[in-house]
Amino acid sequence: MMIWLRKNLFRSVGDSLVTVIAGSLSLYVLFRIVRFVAVTGRWQVVETNLALLVNGAWPTDEIGRLSATIVLLGFLGGVASAVAGLVTSDVDSEPPTLFQKALDLAIRLWPLALIVGLVLLLSTTTGPLLLTVGVVGAVTVGRLLGGLLPGRVRPVVIVVALFGALASIWFMSFGHSWDDWGGILVNFFLAAISISLCFPIGVILALGRRSEFPILRMLSTVFIELFRGVPLIALLLMAKNTLGFFVPQEFTPGAAVRAIVVFVLFTSAYVAEIVRGGLQSVPKGQIEAARANGLTPIPTTFRIVLPQALRNVIPALVGQFISLFKDTTLAGVALGFLDLLEGGQAITQQAEFRGQGLVIETLAFVGLLFWAGSYTMSRESQRLESKLGVGSR
Amino acid sequence: MGRSPKLLALGAAFALALSACASGGSSAADSDSGSDEENNNSESTSTSGGSVLADVIANDVVTCGTRDALPGFAVLQADGTHEGFDNDFCRAIAAAVLGDAEKVEFKDLETDDRFTALQSGEVDVLVRNTTWTASRDGSEGATFLAPNFYDGQGMMVAVESNFNSLEDMDGTTVCVASGTTTEGNVSSEFERLGLTVDVLSFENTDLIQEAFQAGRCDGWSSDVSQLAGLRTSFLNGEDSLKILPGVFSKEPLAPAVRDGDSEWAQVVNWAVFATIQAEEFGIDSSNVDGMLESDNPLIQTFLGVEVDGTALDPGLGLPVDANYQVVKQVGNYGEIYEQHIKPLGLERGQNSQWQDGGLLYAPPYR
Amino acid sequence: MNSSEKTPFWRNVAVLRWAFQLAIVAVVGVIIAILVNNLLVNSSSQGIPLGFGFLSQPASFPITANDFRDTQPVWQAMYEGVLNTLRVVLVGFVLATVFGVLIGLGRLSGNWLIRTISTVYIEIVRNVPLLLIVIFAYLGLVLEVFPRIEDSWDLAGTIIVNGRGFSIPWITGPFVGLLAAVVLSIAAGLAVRRWRLRVAESKDESAYVVPWMAAAMVAVLFWVGFFAGLGFSSPSIDGRNVVGGMTMQPEYFALLFALVTYTASHIAEIVRGSVQSVAKGQVEASQAMALNGWQRMRYVIFPQALRVAIPPLGNQYLNLMKNSSLGFAVSYFELTKVVTTSVGTRSPAVPAFLVLMIIYLIMSLTISALVNIANRKMEVVGR
C-alpha cells in the first residue's frame, strides 16, 4: 500500500505538490457533485416529466404497442448479439463459469443498469419495471436461442433481425406518427434507422471510390467530400427549409423523413470512408490469390474482399453509430423534435417550473442518459476490437 | 381523389398567369371568377376548379394556421381545444362558410414555417398574428387581407430598472425573436433616436425568456399585444415587468391566404368584416336573434333577413345567413376583444370602431 | 482485318466499361434533373425567386455585438458571419490544442491522481452530445451561474465575469502596430536563436537558446509596441456595460467553451495514442543516451508522435470548424445563424443554403489542404 502510494502519488517533491493540490481540488468537486445530487438538486422537474424524457408525448392507450415493440427489439438484439458473439468468439479459451459471466456482465453494463435503476426509482407506476423485466427476459431468451442456431444461417439471421427491427419500428408508428415521437426514443430511433439504411449506400460508395472506373470514382469522391465538408446542422436546417422544393408539392415530407434523409446521406459518406479503410486493410495477396484461383472481379469483391473488410470495420461502425446517436440531438434543435435534449429544455419552461433555474438539473439528467448509452457502446466496441484483433495482425 | 389533376390545374393557372402578364391585361385570378355558382353546388369533383372555397365546402372543414402558446391570441388548452383571438376569427370564417363555427381544424405553426404551410396548401388560411408587409405580400406567395388587429412594437423592461422610455436605453441590449419584423424595427428606431443598441435575436421564445430573466438583455421588444400576453406567463409578471409607453412601428396583423385565389380571399375578408360591421350596428351574440326583427333596412340586409320575399346575396359565395351565423356563434369584434385581449390589460385604442377614432372600418354590406 | 475474330462490341470489355459508366452517369443525371425540375416547378408556382439577387438586398436584421446595420446587404451579413465563425474557430484551434495536449499528457502521467482525473474527464466529455455541452454552457453556466452585471465577479480589475460576458485585459491600438510588433519579435527571436546556436558550436559552451530567445522577443515586442502606440486596457464596469479590455459576449463564450472542452478531449486521446505509438526502443535508447525527461520529449518522442498525430488532428480541426455551426443553437451569429436568420427574414431558401454549403466546403477544403501540406512536410523531415 505504502509502496503503491509512493510510486504513484508521491514520487518527488513536485509530484507530491501536484497530488496535494489536484487531490484537494477533486475532493472539493466531488463534494459539490455529491451535495448537488443528494441535497441541493431539485429533481422534481425530472420526476414529473420522466415519461416525456423517455418516450415523449406517447399516447397512453398506445403504450402497449410501444412496449411490445421494445421487447421484440430486445429479443432481436439478443439473437443478433449471440450470433455476432459466435462469429468473434475465441475457440481456444475455456468457457467461463456462470459467476465469471455475471461479474463480467456487471462490469460491462453498469452504466446501463445505473440509468435503468434510476428511471425505476423515479417512476411512480409499475409499467417501467414490467417493461425492464420483459426486455431483460427477451434479451436472455434471444441470446440463448441465437446460440443454438447452426452456423450456416447466421448471415440470414442478422438480415432477418435487421428487417424485423425496421418492420417493428414501422409497426410502432401506427400508434403515434413518427413526427410526434419524442424523448430518448426519438434519438435512438433516428440513429438506428439511419445507420441501417446508410450501410448499403456507404458500401457502394466505398467500392465506387476504389473502383477502376474513373467516372464512378469521381462521383463517389464528390459525394463523400460534399457531405463530409458541410456541418450536419446546416444540412438539417437545409432539409427543413428547402427539401420541400425538391419533391412534388403533394409529398411534402414530415420532420422525421427529413431528418432520416439527412442522417442517411451524411452518415453514408462517413461509413464509406470507414469501409474504404477496411477494404485497404485486406492484403493484396488475398485478391491475387482469388484471381489466381479463377474468380472474376465481382465474386472476388463480394466473397473474398468484402467479408474480411467488413469484419474489420465493425468497431468503427459502432463508433459511427455512437456519434450518430449523439448527433440526433441536432435534429431536435433544427427540426423541432422534442427529443431528449429539446424536451429537457422544454420542461424547464412548464408553468410550475419556469424561472427557477432548473436547467442544470435537467441537463445533468439528460447528459447522464446520453453518457450511459454511448459509454457502454464505446466500451463494447473496444472489447470487440480487441477480440477481433483489428490492427494487431 | 385526383392528385395529378390538381397539379395540372396549378400548371394551367401558372400558364394563364404568364400569358396574362405577357399581355399586360387582367390577372389570372379574374379568369376564375365566373365559376362561383358551380363551385357552390359541386362536390368532390370541384377540386379542379382550383379555389380553396370549393375544397373547404367539399371537405366540410376550414384548416386554419395558428399557434399554440400565445396568451390572448391562440393558446392550446390542456384538453386539446384552442382558445384565443385568432382562433375565434378562424371560427368566424367557418361559421360564415359552413354555418358551423366548430368546423375548424387548427394547425400550430412556427414563425418560420408559417408561409411554407400556406404555400403548400397545408392550411387554407393563416390567422397567426402575422404582420402585413410589402415584401411578405410580394415574395412569400401570400395575399394579406383586412387586418383583424392593429398592433405596434413596444418594449418591455423590468420594473426595478430605471428605464421609462426608449431614450433611457442608450447602449443597452435588447432581445427579440428572429425571423420577424421586430429585429429590424428595433435597430431602426434606436438609430432614428440617435442611440446605440445591441440586438440579440433568438429562434424561440423560451430562449428569450431565459436570457431576459437572467439579465442577459435589458429589454424585450415585440408587438405590444404579444408582450402583454407573455407578461402574464411570467411569475407575478404584472408586478415585475412593465411595457414602456408608446410604440415604434406599425404592425397590422392580418389573415393571409394563398396568392391567386381571389374568391377565397373575398370570403375570408367578409367574414372578418362581419364581426366589425356587427359591432358598428350594435349587434352581438346575445341580441342577434332580436335584431332579426329590426326594421333598419341596413341591418336586415346584413343579417340576410328576407324583405319582400328576397334577401341580398352579394355573390361572395357565402350562404345568405353567413353574417348571422358569425355573430350568433362567435360574436362581434368587441365581444371577441373583450373575451381574449382585455384580460391582458390592453385597451381598445387603435382597434376601436372608426366612429370612436379607431381604425376598424368595414365596407358597406349592400 | 479478320472481322470474324473481332470481339463483338457487346462483349468488348472496353465498350462495356464505358457503357456501364455512362449508364450510371445517366441515372445520376436523371435523378438530378427530376430534383431540379421539381425545384423549378415549385418555386415558380409559389412565386419564389431562385437567383442570387437577394445577396444585394438589404438584410433587414442586425447582428449582435457588431456594427453591421440592418440596411446593409445580405452578402455583407454573410461576410460578418464568416468572420464570426473564424473568430471562434481560430481561437478554438489554439485553446483546444493546448488543453488537449495537457490532458493527453496527463493521461500518461506517472501520477495516479492526474491520470485518473484526465481519464474521467475524457470519458465523460467524449460520451455526451456536443450540443448538450453548448446548451449547458449557455443556459446553465453563463445565464444561471454567472452573476448579473450588478454583482459581477471581478478578479482585481483584470477579469470581469457576468451575464453580459467574459472580459479580459486586452491590447489596444492600431492592428497594424500589433502585427508589426509580433512579426518583428518573432524575427528577432529567430535571429537570436541562430546566433546562439552558432556561438554554441564555435565555442563549445551551453547555448541557453530558450532564455535568450525569450528575452529578445519580449524586448522587441515591448519596444515596437511602445512606438506603434499599443497600450493595455483592463475591463471595468460602467453603468450596465463593461468597458475596456476585451469582452467575449456570452454566446461566443459559451460556444468557445463547449468547442474547446469537447475537442480537447478528442485531441487528448490522439496525443496519448501517438505518444504510445512511439516505439519503446526509442525511449530506452534515449534513456541510454542520458537525455533528461524534457530532452527525451522534445527531441525523440515529440517529432515522431507528431507525425502520427497530424492526420487525426487535422480531422479534429475540421470537426471543430464544422461544429462551430452549433452557435446557431445559442444565437451566436456565425455563418449558419446568419443564413437561417436571413432565410427567415426574406432571402429565398434554396440559393441561400447553396451559398452556405459552398462557403463551408471552401473552409473544409482549405483546412484539409493545410493538413495535407503539414503532413507531407513532416514526412519529408522524418526521412
Q: Kindly list the domain boundaries of chain A, sorted by start residue.
A: 1-40, 43-58+176-393, 60-172
Identify the band that residue A151 occupies on the pLDDT scale cut at 50, 70 and 90: low
Assess whether pLDDT exceeds 90 at residue C81. Answer: yes
Higher model confidence: residue A55 or residue A92? A55
User: A187 CA to chain B: closest CA distance, Å?
Assistant: 21
Q: Which three cell numbers stand for residue A43?
A: 429533481
CA-to-CA distance for B156 and B230, rounded, in angstroms?
Answer: 10
Neighbouring chains to B with at least 3 Cβ pairs closer than 8 Å: A, C
Q: Which residues of A touch B122 (CB under 8 A)?
A: 252
H helix runs in C159-301, sequence order: 175-203, 209-227, 250-277, 280-288, 293-295
Q: Which three cell numbers stand for residue C294?
A: 524534457
Identify the band that residue A175 occupies on the pLDDT scale cut at 50, 70 and 90: confident
Q: Could you report the per-residue pLDDT of B33-55, keeping only the tens digit for each?
A: 333 333 333 333 333 346 889 98
CA-to-CA distance for B10 and A333, rounded, in angstroms?
Answer: 34
Q: Which residues of B touch A240 (CB under 8 A)?
A: 113
Question: What chain B residue is nearest to A255 in terms of C-alpha separation?
Answer: B113
CA-to-CA distance for C330 and C252, rounded, in angstroms?
Answer: 9
Assess whether pLDDT exceeds 90 at residue C96. Answer: yes
Domains of chain B, each with CATH number or no CATH: 51-150+254-366 (3.40.190.10), 153-249 (3.40.190.10)
Per-residue CA distances from B158 to B152, B296, B305, C149 (Å)? 20, 52, 54, 14
Question: What chain B residue is nearest to A251 in terms of C-alpha separation?
Answer: B120
Model pLDDT, residue A251: 74
Assess whether pLDDT exceeds 90 at residue B309. Answer: no
Q: Which residues of C touch A231 (CB under 8 A)?
A: 322-325, 336, 360
Query: Do B171 and C239 lie within an 8 Å CB cutoff?
Result: yes
Residue C281, SS3? helix
Query: Do C48 and B141 lie within an 8 Å CB cutoff?
Result: yes
Query: Do A230 and C130 lie within an 8 Å CB cutoff?
Result: no
Q: Which CATH number fits domain A43-58+176-393: 1.10.3720.10, 3.40.50.2300, 3.40.800.10, 3.40.50.150?
A: 1.10.3720.10
- Do B16 and B28 form a contact (C-beta atoms < 8 A)? yes
- Helices and strands (DSSP H and E) totals, chain B: 15, 15
Model pLDDT, residue B143: 92
Query: Do C135 and A247 lie within an 8 Å CB cutoff?
Result: no
User: B11 CA to chain A: closest CA distance, Å?
Assistant: 12
Q: What percent of chain C has pLDDT over 70?
A: 95
What sign does the dihedral C297-C298-C299-C303 (CA atoms) show? positive
| Mean pLDDT on C183-189 | 89
Assess whether pLDDT exceeds 80 at residue A88. Answer: no
Minimum-distance CB partner of A355 among B7, B121, B213? B213
Model pLDDT, residue C122: 94
| Mean pLDDT on C137-158 | 83
Query: Do A252 and B120 lie within an 8 Å CB cutoff?
Result: yes
Residue A290, SS3? helix
Question: What chain C residue is nearest to A248 in terms of C-alpha separation?
Answer: C38
- Helices and strands (DSSP H and E) totals, chain A: 17, 2
Q: Could you report the per-residue pLDDT of B233-249, keeping only the tens digit for each?
A: 777 777 888 899 888 88
Identify the band that residue B26 occupies on the pLDDT scale cut at 50, 70 and 90: very low
Question: What chain B residue is nearest to C249 in terms of C-alpha separation?
Answer: B216
Model pLDDT, residue C198: 81
Residue type, B220: W
List % helix, strand, coil for chain A (3-state, nearest 5). Answer: 80, 0, 15
Q: Could you report the per-residue pLDDT of B56-100, keeping only the tens digit for each?
A: 999 999 999 988 777 888 887 767 788 899 999 999 999 999 999
Assess whether pLDDT exceeds 90 at residue C299. Answer: no
Q: How far is CA A199 from the centre of its chain?
A: 14
- Binding-site residues on chain B for chain A (CB distance < 8 A): 3, 6-7, 10, 110, 112-113, 116, 120-122, 206, 209-210, 213, 233-235
Model pLDDT, residue A205: 93
Model pLDDT, residue A93: 55
Identify the band that residue B7 occupies on the pLDDT scale cut at 50, 70 and 90: very low
Query: Do A213 and C322 lie within an 8 Å CB cutoff?
Result: no
CA-to-CA distance for C220 and C243, rounded, in angstroms?
Answer: 29
Query: Do A355 and B234 lie within an 8 Å CB cutoff?
Result: yes
Q: Which residues of A touch C129 (CB under 8 A)?
A: 326-327, 329, 341, 370
| Mean pLDDT on C263-278 | 91
Q: Could you report the per-residue pLDDT of A203-260, keeping only the tens digit for each?
A: 999 999 888 888 889 999 999 999 999 999 999 999 988 888 888 877 778 888 899 9
Identify which of B203, B199, B189, B149 has the alpha carbon closest to the alpha carbon of residue B358: B149
Assess whether pLDDT exceeds 80 at residue C169. Answer: yes
Listed in order, strand segments (DSSP E) in chain C are 153-155, 159-162, 165-168, 170-172, 231-233, 236-238, 241-243, 246-248
CA-to-CA distance for B118 and B171, rounded, in angstroms?
Answer: 39
Q: Which residues of A touch B112 (CB under 8 A)?
A: 241
Average pLDDT along chain C: 86
- Do A185 and A55 form a contact (C-beta atoms < 8 A)? yes
The residue among B216, B220, B221, B257 with the most chain C CBs within 10 A of its CB, best to mutate, is B216
